[in-house]
Structure 1
Amino acid sequence: TYGLLAMWGYMDQAEGLEKAVANFLKGQALDSTSAEYYMSFVGREFWGEWHFQEAYTHIRQALTVNPFHTDALEAMTELLLANGYFAEAQTYIGEALRVDPLSANHHYTRANLYYYQQKYAVALQHVTRALEMDPSLALAQELRLQCHIHLGDRETVEALLAERPSEGGTLPRLLFACLHETPPDLAAEDIAAWTESVRHKAGLVPYILFLLANHPDHTEAAMDLLRELITMRRGQVMNYRYEPFLAPLRARPDFAALHVSPLQLPGEASAFDRVTDSSPDPKELAAQKARLLAEVEERHAYLDPQLSLRSLAEAIDIHPNKLSFLINDQFGQNFNEFINQYRLTHFKTLALDPENRHLTLLGLAFESGFNSKTVFNTFFKKQEGMTPRAWLKRQGE
């Protein structure tokens, strides 16, 4: 417990680790044949030091002693998740739920597995179950908010933020804008204050890191902060390799080198190696770019209001992380900026067509692929410096 508190920033790191080691030594002296004995290594190796292979060995030993040890089953789930073995992780959390189906934390952990696979609707089903069992489970509350941010559900995001006024909603709202609207201007002093806060104060979700990672002007700052938090072994970023909010960073050549302690299961290649290419090939990038432009410009993928990074990636047969990198590297934009630029051009064509005079501007925006009045108006004004109606009036002058 002390180790977890230290790694998540809820107590001084040196003090927490010192107390954790002291209790670990006491546990060793009590019973070296119990599952708890082997689990006492895990807190230090897994959460404290990120030594995944050693932690795996001790969790397996604990489960050999007691195959129904729910803490060990959940720890194995989290360890496998951190290393991208999602199918294997599902097996362990499924067993934990079979042993204890009323554990809110087990349902949260299963939701987390779906979240890291970007299956947000399914994740919400399980996180809802967790919150039904324990409405105060803070990690589940945050996961629910994160899912709705990814889904672009502004109304629900605002409702959830209204339920937690003491925790503030500035950073989640700015993150939402980066993902689904127009990246906001961020003052240097605000970034400095938010970054300092995440370094020294407890917080379940590092929203400032996610905001910087998704802002086209601040990806370098995001990498610096992520590197620092990894060095500190902060629990909030243990799953950084598969965090959907960090997708814009994942294809960078320096991302794979951030932390090297891969978990190797018997007979398996490293799961991270299966999705990460640390040195994108120029010819491959050119081919990917050609497929992207064909899908967007020739097949007009941008007209689909439900188009997402994941669905577009599937259409052109590329991993979503690599698509995010491709758009950022080749066009200097994030996914939403890239797609909305095409939608804006299409809207202008429709708006200037005399045959469409009987249609509202919002109706034309929806026909162009925009799925929200707010997103359309915000993006239009950001690009043109005026409202859609003012722009149309100027075209007729």
Structure 2
Amino acid sequence: MEIPIFGYSVIHSPIISLNLRTPRSIVVLPFENISPDPENDYFADGVTEEIINALSKIEGLKVTARTSSFAYKNKSKDIRIIGNELGVSTALEGSIRKSGNLIRISTQLIRTDNGFQVWSDSFNRDLTNIFELQDEISLLIADKIRENFGHLEINDHLVTSQTNNIEAYTLFLKGRYFQLRWNVDDFLKATIEYEKSIQLDPKFYKPYFGLVQCYALMAAWGFTTDRLVALEKANYYLTEGLKVNNQSSEAHFALATKSLWVEWKPYEALSHLTRSLAINPNDSESLEAAAEAHIALGEFEDATNYIKMALEVNPLSANHHFTIGNIHYLQQDYSKALKCFERSLEIDPKWDFSLQVSACCFVLMGHKQALDSLLDEHKDLKDGYLFTHLYDAIHNGKPIDINALPEINDTYFSWKLWTLIYANEIEEAYKHLIVCIESKEGQYLNFQREPLNNPLKASKKYESIVQSVFDRPIYETQQTNEYKSKVPMTEEEQVYYKTKLEEVMLDYHLYASENMTLRSLAERIGLHANKLSWLLNEVLGKNFNEYINGLRVEAFKKKALEAAFSNYSLLGIAYECGFNSKSVFNDFFKKTVGMTPSNWLKKQNKKQ
């Protein structure tokens, strides 16, 4: 059985939506597994996700989240269409071949507006160097985006070694692969792989927090026969994981998961999520979880802001669209809710949460025909038959006959409570609600906002129930040990390095080098690459490629009028000046000069 879980998303079929491309943005598409063993899919998926996570740490770079990226797995789609759907300017494609302890990764970075290949490379390494390789690839990609689209502050390393035991790492990737299938059987497979990974390297922190998520969510949502055992395991692995690493985004996210879904402490959860997002601001899972915490508190404006941020990096998440709809539903704006659920179901027609709450909307709106159509189309909808009983109770004065129904379980929603309410068993409903609150069952987290619980809310007994359900606000003073200046260079430094830059470029004709990069140029003038990027973009008003190609165009203009180059073709002169692509030369020349190179030369010859 597939489980849709708050805070996580599964994608089956992406929909077309035109979004404005953000200049400094990228989607890392799932790397193709070309290994002899097709089961190495988990490894290709894991490396893809590691690169996504590494790039997501760069402030100012929009990185499409894993869910939306993996919507394109095993699908052949024009890169320009993908750019439109995700609103990104670049896409990374790649393939992985793993054989024994050897690995070959081939990658190419492509512009999504015109399909132009910005960069490509292949890497052959020993598997023991996998973290260094992921770091190298991530840095190269980030540099190329910065060179083409504008300034970014990039750390010297984006991926650090997490374990020296490669087998432990591959078992973790296999566990993550199973976990992200989001169904009960694969959750159990994931826990087996994670536990094997820990046995091989107890100091490798990631599998601990993978186990926390698996066991905590299975316990919170009742997807295990022994909830207490699952909670004990979640607590055990959380404690052990924090001993190894208590400062990672995974650690804070795991703590937030426990705080919100197991302990019903949304304020504490938000405190942990603030720390998680400080480390990884593009993490859509943390943004989604923050939205869920605010929903529990009835802070719908804050919840909406967080889920919209999640959608910025994860536009093809069925669950994110559901969450926006759920915010409208809990505010009893059913028409807006249904529009969001419709969008969610365009992405995944079987997304149970959107189907279930759509049915709730139709019941509460009195739209019997729409309800019947939904139930007829989705005959396998979990608990679907109960919506008809609910409708009859609310609109036709027919209380639910509990004795005539089969045994009811709270799989996704609080059906046990609803059947008691609409069977007019109000006292029993209060008793049941108290038990569920005391045991903190995940289906009841939002009981205070649920419209179907409205018949309970007028009583003083209900008022006494909701007192002190959640924790109290946590007020924290944000402190930083490092002051980040918006102007990283003094005016004197700016003048000095501008002059030095011009000298090395013109005296040594460095612009003519095909292999010139922002980092190599920064090293040449004795400046950190981040500062050179800032100088070019903020002071000179050009990104690295615009600066270099501008110098190449000026060099072309001079050479094209010199007798020594009269026998050269225009493209030959362009290559002499450092261009290595006809289309790049022609496009940039026309963009900056306002006419084609040949028309410009004709005009200059007429003047002479």
Under TM normalisation by the shorter chain, which class is it? 0.5 to 0.7
Q: CA deviation at 1:265?
A: 5.1
Q: Which residue of 2 aligns with 1:222?
A: 429
Q: 159, 167, 177: which is aligned to 2:392?
A: 177
Partners in 2 of 1:141 and 1:261 — Cα distance? 29
Per-residue displacement from partner, 1:223-249 (whole Å, max 9, x unpaired)?
A: 122112222211111100010000111
Does the 8 Å CA contact 1:171/1:208 hold for their aligned counterparts? no
Q: Which residue of 1 aligns with 2:377?
A: 163
The correspondence of residues 63-212 of structure 1 with structure 2, limited to 5 A, is: 63-166=277-380, 167=382, 169-184=384-399, 186=401, 189-190=403-404, 194=407, 197-198=408-409, 203-212=411-420
SS of equivalent residue, structure 2 residue 335: helix
Identity of aligned residues (%): 31
Q: Which residue of 2 aligns with 1:9?
A: 222
The correspondence of residues 360-375 of structure 1 with structure 2, limited to 5 A, is: none
SS of equivalent residue, structure 2 residue 461: coil
SS of equivalent residue, structure 1 residue 242: coil
Q: CA deviation at 1:206?
A: 2.5
Q: Which residue of 1 aligns with 2:439?
A: 232
Q: CA deviation at 1:33?
A: 2.4
Unaligned runs of 5+ in 1: 268-397
Q: CA deviation at 1:41?
A: 0.7
**Equivalent AA in structure 1 for residue 222 of structure 2:** G
Q: CA deviation at 1:121?
A: 0.7
The correspondence of residues 243-322 of structure 1 with structure 2, limited to 5 A, is: 243-259=450-466, 260-262=468-470
Does the 8 Å CA contact 2:399/2:422 hold for their aligned counterparts? no
**Equivalent AA in structure 2 for residue 172 of structure 1:** F
Does the 8 Å CA contact 2:307/2:320 hold for their aligned counterparts? yes
Per-residue displacement from partner, 1:130-171 (whole Å, max 9, x unpaired)?
A: 111112221122111111111111112112222343445442
Q: CA deviation at 1:20?
A: 1.6
Does the 8 Å CA contact 2:389/2:400 hold for their aligned counterparts? no
**Equivalent AA in structure 1 for residue 411 of structure 2:** G
Partners in 2 of 1:163 and 1:207 — Cα distance? 21
Further displaced range: 42-51 or 240-249 = 42-51
Partners in 2 of 1:169 and 1:139 — Cα distance? 12
Partners in 1 of 2:383 and 2:260 — Cα distance? 31
Q: Larger Rg: 1 or 2?
A: 2
Partners in 2 of 1:147 and 1:109 — Cα distance? 14
Does the 8 Å CA contact 1:42/1:59 hold for their aligned counterparts? yes
The TM-score, its normalising length taken from structure 2, stands at: 0.40
The structure with the largest helix share of the pair is 1
Partners in 1 of 2:311 and 2:471 — Cα distance? 24
Task: Provide the aligned length of Structure 1 versus Structure 2.
Answer: 259
The correspondence of residues 371-390 of structure 1 with structure 2, limited to 5 A, is: none
Q: CA deviation at 1:263?
A: 5.4
Does the 8 Å CA contact 1:214/1:245 hold for their aligned counterparts? no
User: Structure 1's 157 and 54: CA in aligned 2 closer, same or farther, altered over 3 A?
Assistant: same
Partners in 2 of 1:172 and 1:131 — Cα distance? 19
Partners in 1 of 2:404 and 2:237 — Cα distance? 40
Partners in 2 of 1:68 and 1:261 — Cα distance? 31
Partners in 2 of 1:21 and 1:264 — Cα distance? 22
Partners in 2 of 1:26 and 1:110 — Cα distance? 35
CA RMSD in angstroms comes to: 2.2
